[in-house]
Chain A
């Protein structure tokens, strides 16, 4: 009984924002003390699905940036964390990986902005991609440290003495062993990019309009229905993640 109540509370807490933003995205003239909007329209959704709307472009841009950041940081993080695990001064290199998080993303954005201005990448998608990698890549490096244990490094050596090349060892031993962690890292770094605001705003200088940038823009414009729709789109990937992992998430309750 207690478990059911807890599950219901948790499900409501997750679903309620969707319901609220969903209502806000289709409602018009919703004023206090009305419980529901006075009119309903699918105009915002039609705008998203048809034509070259700002939201549609922004959604596509966010997906491309998210996938780019996730793929690059997961692959690079996996490779570099292996080198760090085998390095003589492992902790020194790891300290470097913690650097962006110690500084805080906002301070980091101010520090790196000049570099992007000088290289002409300010206000460009490539600049934002690199900016987001400053956070996602070290995260991946730290994340994969737990994988490169002494045992895994020994398994790698074992494979070599059995005659396997580095590529064969990667395909047949390392990647299958790391598969769950690779998936988690991919999703996590995708979400880092998906929700990123500070660095994107600083380096993108308002020209690279990802979904979080657009939400703040609409909020500032008091455009609540567009802000709600953009918010719904932002919440979609983590919701999908929750849905695909619902078995594990709700099991422990």
Chain B
């Protein structure tokens, strides 16, 4: 289980993370909804070990991650941009984490992952030859192939068009269930949060609010779920009243 307690981070005088506390059991996806600049990226990067918190603790299965460098945390950060290694082929990008760990059967594992991602015919292509959605799929495959402890997803589908985004969300759900992925999934899209999350949280001005249930998340007016539902209801009403 990932346990974060009273995580605090400031830049100059601006507080970016304010006593953030959460618990994330194995195989669960916590969807964190929040607007731009609310501290979501800082939270994920701090958990990944890429930023140092001013105070608070991050524990995995009871063990402190404080002294662990990013490479030893097994917590992969995935940003909005796929950040593929441009000089490596799709195959080598996906194999990267396995090669780092000197794992056996790299060929077979990568081929299986390519099949899962429906990218078999693109294995030898360079990232520049792929579409945005394909690149994001490669990044996703590269992150989960060695089964990390936690996936830290920072609005991973935000730069994709609606159709590709929907197919990526389905792919994520399928693979998250298959591999029992534990993930912190940050998004500013209400629908995406509802679709992806097993648990829900809302972040504003560095403060994280965890909800006890999906209903509680939907009922809270600050999350904007009710506004979203009202909008779609009004559209539905308009359509049904058309002559």
Which of B69, B87, B96 is the one whose CB lies under 8 Å from A176?
A: B87
Asked whether, in the complex, the Cβ of A158 is within 8 Å of the Cβ of B77, the reply is yes
Size range of the chain B interface in the assembly: 20 to 34
**A168 and B69 alpha carbons, distance in the complex (Å):** 15
B50 contacts across to A, CB distance below 8 A: 157, 160-161
**Interface-forming stretch among B78-86, B176-184, B220-228?**
B78-86
**A99 and B136 alpha carbons, distance in the complex (Å):** 44
Contact indicator per residue, chain B 74-117, by CB within 8 Å of chain A (1) or not (0): 11110101010111000000001101110000000000000000
Which of B48, B85, B86, B99 is the one whose CB lies under 8 Å from A161?
A: B48
**A155 and B87 alpha carbons, distance in the complex (Å):** 12
Asked whether, in the complex, the Cβ of A168 is within 8 Å of the Cβ of B86, the reply is no
Q: Considering only CB atoms, which chain B residue lies closest to A179 in the complex?
A: B87
CB of B73 closer than 8 Å to a CB of A: yes
Contact indicator per residue, chain A 147-189, by CB within 8 Å of chain B (1) or not (0): 0000100110111111111001000110011000000000000
CB of B142 closer than 8 Å to a CB of A: yes
Number of A residues near B (Cβ < 8 Å) is 17
Asked whether, in the complex, the Cβ of B86 is within 8 Å of the Cβ of A162, the reply is no
How many whole Å from B226's CB to the nearest CB in chain A? 36
Asked whether, in the complex, the Cβ of B70 is within 8 Å of the Cβ of A155, the reply is no
A155 contacts across to B, CB distance below 8 A: 83, 85
B81 contacts across to A, CB distance below 8 A: 151, 154
Most buried by B among A151, A157, A168, A177: A157
CB of B174 closer than 8 Å to a CB of A: no
Asked whether, in the complex, the Cβ of B97 is within 8 Å of the Cβ of A163, the reply is yes
Asked whether, in the complex, the Cβ of B79 is within 8 Å of the Cβ of A162, the reply is no
Asked whether, in the complex, the Cβ of B97 is within 8 Å of the Cβ of A162, the reply is yes
Asked whether, in the complex, the Cβ of A165 is within 8 Å of the Cβ of B71, the reply is yes
**A173 and B93 alpha carbons, distance in the complex (Å):** 11
Q: A154-B79, A154-B83, A159-B85 are in contact. List 17 more A-B contacts (CB 8 A).
A: A155-B83, A157-B50, A158-B77, A160-B69, A160-B70, A161-B49, A161-B71, A161-B76, A162-B71, A162-B76, A162-B96, A162-B142, A163-B97, A163-B146, A165-B71, A173-B85, A177-B86
